[in-house]
Structure 1
């Protein structure tokens, strides 16, 4: 008790000294901003403050980072002289140009972020005074055609001008920023890349040209940029490019991304000079006739990652395919027709493989040489018409952490299949007709974090038999059982004690009609529960199972058979911030209004109710996209007794401007609440709810109820003392005035 009292008085002392906590001795801070130290640097955060101009006069000269993101600033003026600002963030405003005057004197500036504005013009000499400038971000601005040099800086290393609507890059564009090491030009409609553009960038290491609608690249485009290590060219439309010539100068190239670039063929000498290539991504191209062995050649001896997914390769992948790429650690072959026997021979030289993806390859069986993959961490063999007998082949994979066997035509998984996979973290078995799980199947998976068993025909939820009886699986946090015809017991918990640490549970579309009050007795740590697409009804105590889920944050009850719901059912879920009730046949009654008020007043955020307000994705310019709103309907008796809709005026509700007539039964919750005449919840409940949340917080942080009560009583006593002092002071003043008056009278 003594400890509790000390803590209570500490809380009081903290509150009383709040006005003397040193704020007045801090550096200057504009009224609209939040200022604080980050390590030893003064940060001024003015983001999303509806500012129309920079608060120049209120800035400290020692500000290190100034964040002005997300305001309505249209123009920049010169900053105070001698300001020591290092980073300026002014993204997502309404700037239209960048003038030299605005950045005059910013000698210490290192980083500037001007992305997401309406900038069409940038003064080439804008950053001349910033002699240590390293990074400039201008992505997402509608820059006009640049003639001559773009910027002048002797130190600039990073430039992002992606999504700037640039249709061409002139030969002098980079002349005055030759120190660049990273350039991002992605998502600009360049179409072609001429020779000489990058000649002055002899220090360039990273170049991104994704989604630039490129059809061709000049043979000498990179002839002087010989230090490029990372080159991204994905999402283009290449039709006529001499790749051996284009890539031939890039002797130091380590990373090349050509994903989804409409490639149809690659010659045998394409990568002959790329002897340092570590990552090669060719996925999502129509390379039907690709000879993988010949294309890789003898040069890619350092290759560690190769992505050939969805290339529809018809040629054989076997024998000598990867002989010269024996260092491969990550191999992606999904979406190509493969044969197990050929694949076995192809994989033989790859003992260091860590990730192997073979999804949707038409495999009926698997190679029987998995015993050579001592380092394999991830294996995806999903969406293959596999035979059951293959499962024993996986037994040697003792280091495997991720295994996806989903939708693979399995009807049985042997009890010893995973017995040696003690490092397993995520296991996917969804889409297989397993019907039941063998005893001890998951027993040895003590490090498992996620298990997915969706659409497996299971009638029983995960039971203790599949796990070891006297062991709690402390890392198992996510279980997905959606789409199974589960039979829920009428009483008792539906999961064993071994799964007590589960926090994410998906039981959607499981044909569930009811859940008893103790359904989650052994899994009370659930924070995210999905019960959508079931048949839960609004019977008495139908949602009583929520009483045990005090940590619940999100619940999906959409598309059930709920006709009414009372906010009282969530009384034991103080952390709940997302409730999905869409698609239920709710009857329009005052419980709808109570739920509305619960979200709006008690929780303090109407968005807690999914569909209560239009989401951003629902606001469209064209088309008749149906918005996902909450709806309720009148029953026949209500319609019969309500020929004319009365527009009731109730305190706390905003009535419609004009009286309305009922012409159909369905109403959105928003409309019903306004027209119903249901009395709103008293607004004092919101403060009460906040006190309740604070009390819950104190409990969750091991502060005893006694401490909380003492602190509240002390706070109340302090307020009462203050009021009494004021009252006595006023009385004393009145008495003195009366005395003076009496003296004058005498």
Structure 2
């Protein structure tokens, strides 16, 4: 008991002085430039100044605790030194106007780990640009017109990830990578290298992933990868290789290679001994190469550990024989799409692959299927889409009792017999999209009792699914996703949209269905829906959303690209679980309904990211991906003059530093409009914010209510801290004395 009270006191003391937390248990407000949106992402302070027409970095207004600084999509051409002691970890400056990276611009950035300068006009990079960043590991420079480099390109001993794709690099000198030997991932894609005939890769002994896709490569020297003993993934897709490359020697150096991608590289030099030294090769992608003259069986016969083979769109003309995959029986995933194949050849060629789990035969011109599926006892995924199969083939699939995914989309189907899927009781995902199935037979989906996802997009359906398609009085408990996008649905003014059997449905896609309304009782039987997609329809009035009242578990609502000009929080007052509201692409008017939604997310829900397009997301700071977020925007009424914005700030909103601002454009992001508008938050939201600011801590049934008052100044913070510190020290002292007295008393009892 005593020890627990002592630990509780220490815990409270630690909480009060945790970095980034105010003394009321909430995240402390940090500095934020006027043109930016600032918030916490997890526990890190994010300053989002992207797409703000900035010509310079607002150095004086940055918090020293900024973790991510997003300056993407601005007009910045120069970087001055940042303030001393700034603790920035990630700097994003993609799509600006910089022409050079200078060392002095990044002096003092001791905490910087990642930086993104992609999409600028950078021609020169100082090799010592990040000397002050001792833990720097990721640099993205893709899409910059770099000048030719003589000598080492960079000097960053800790660098692990470098993306210099599409940087106009024509040659790599012998010392290009000398001072970044710790590199593990290198992307050189989309540079006009043409030939690799130097030993420039020799210092990269730790390299595990190398990407040289679309580099106009015609040949690679035999000793290009002499030192890459740890290379596991090599991507060479989209090149123009000719026969001069001695591929057997090139690949013989890469003894640990696991993944090789030669997609669409004009690679047509297959030999029987090509991969003799690559015993660990598990994934081989040869798709989109002209292999019409070769028997692929001669090449793969020695790849005993091969698990994935992609031969899609290879113009295979040598018939697949019974020996093609005879020695590669570990293949689990086989992709043959886009080749002209015959059912008779597939019948014998696929026979050895008894352990096959994934098979793709899409766009193979098949008019019938091979009668060999009974051998695939473990087949889980089958794609036979985009074949002119018509209707008489399903009986051949009947033995696939283990099948979990079946794609028969765009297969010229117009009729499916009621017994078509009667034996496929393991199917979890069924794709029938793109077939003219406006008349579905009764009982068609009856036996699919484990079905989780049903896709019927673009099937010409004029009415949603009815009860006769399923077993009567049976609830399909696993069926949680239904896609009906692109169907010209005709919805009645009253009545449920879907039958009672689908009462466990969680995800419903009704996008692009030409909907203008849904009846109030549309989801009478399907009240467990958590994700509702209504994108691309014609909803234009908030009065159209009474159907949401029947969805108390709704978490995601997608209303993107409709005709909405306003949407109030009251429309979703019956949906307390909403965690994502997608509203991008509507013609929003800059009016107080925008501010109301902002306050609802910020104050009542406590998370602005609920409004997709309002704040930075995880994908916006992910290395190696396009970090271009779509924003929520609104427009002032063009028929009236734009207002002059005074420094009026509603409670809970950060004021502008400038005393007066004039709007110069009618298009505004929601973040900027809310700060400009002066719209007063609803008392409901202010009350919700106040309610959330009260916390409870419990220890062994004792509840300690902590009234939380956010400090407004450093002075008040210090006073609060001193008071709390004094109280906790007193508590700890008392506990220590009590504990000591009890121990002494126990010793006395023992002595007596």
Is this a same-fold pair by TM over 0.5?
yes
My pick for the range that moved more, 149-158 or 543-552, is 543-552
Structure 2: how far apart are the matches of 1:240 and 1:99? 43
1:283 aligns with 2:287: yes
1:432 aligns with 2:425: no
Deviations 1:632-674 (A, max 9, x none): xxxxxxxxxxxxxx98899999xxxxxxxxxxxxxxxx99xxx
Q: Equivalent residue for 1:498?
A: 501
Matching of residues 202-221 of structure 1 within 5 Å: 202-221=205-224
| Structure 1 residue 337: Cα displacement | 0.8
Helix, strand or coil at the partner of 2:382: strand
| Structure 1 residue 463: Cα displacement | 1.8
CA RMSD of aligned residues (A): 5.3
Tell me which of 367, 370, 386 is aligned to 2:373.
370
Q: Does the 8 Å CA contact 2:21/2:28 hold for their aligned counterparts? A: no
Structure 2: how far apart are the matches of 1:693 and 1:318? 70
Matching of residues 82-97 of structure 1 within 5 Å: 87-92=89-94, 96-97=99-100
Structure 1: how far apart are the matches of 2:82 and 2:540? 65
Helix, strand or coil at the partner of 1:451: strand
Change (3 A) 1:651 1:352: same
| Structure 1 residue 174: Cα displacement | 1.6
Matching of residues 305-704 of structure 1 within 5 Å: 305-456=308-459, 458=461, 460-482=463-485, 488=491, 491-507=494-510, 516-524=519-527, 525=529, 527-530=531-534, 548=550, 551=554, 553-555=557-559, 600=594, 603=597, 687=682
Q: Does the 8 Å CA contact 1:123/1:151 hold for their aligned counterparts? A: yes
Q: Equivalent residue for 1:59?
A: 64
TM-score when normalising by structure 2: 0.66
My pick for the range that moved more, 252-261 or 284-293, is 284-293
Change (3 A) 1:685 1:437: farther
Change (3 A) 1:470 1:688: farther
Change (3 A) 1:597 1:35: closer
Deviations 1:265-310 (A, max 9, x none): 53444333333211111222233333211232x3211111111112
- Greater relative contact order (CA < 8 Å, ≥ 6 in sequence): 2
Structure 2: how far apart are the matches of 1:533 and 1:254? 46
Q: Does the 8 Å CA contact 2:59/2:82 hold for their aligned counterparts? A: no
Change (3 A) 1:405 1:215: same
1:123 aligns with 2:121: no
Deviations 1:487-540 (A, max 9, x none): 655642131122234354445676879854433322343643448679x999xx
Change (3 A) 1:205 1:458: closer
| Structure 1 residue 168: Cα displacement | 1.6
Q: Equivalent residue for 1:300?
A: 303
TM-score when normalising by structure 1: 0.67
Deviations 1:411-442 (A, max 9, x none): 44344443454443321112334444344433
Deviations 1:425-472 (A, max 9, x none): 321112334444344433443443321123445555312232234443
Change (3 A) 1:492 1:265: same
For structure 2, the 5+ residue unaligned runs are 1-19, 600-609, 613-632, 646-664, 667-676, 694-708, 710-752
Structure 1: how far apart are the matches of 2:421 and 2:270? 41
Q: Equivalent residue for 2:265?
A: 261
Helix, strand or coil at the partner of 2:251: helix
For structure 1, the 5+ residue unaligned runs are 1-19, 583-591, 611-628, 631-645, 654-669, 672-681, 699-714, 716-746
| Structure 1 residue 45: Cα displacement | 3.5
| Structure 1 residue 343: Cα displacement | 0.8
Change (3 A) 1:358 1:109: same
Q: Does the 8 Å CA contact 1:139/1:161 hold for their aligned counterparts? A: yes
Q: Does the 8 Å CA contact 2:389/2:413 hold for their aligned counterparts? A: yes
Deviations 1:23-44 (A, max 9, x none): 5999999622869797xxx855
1:193 aligns with 2:188: no
Helix, strand or coil at the partner of 1:223: coil
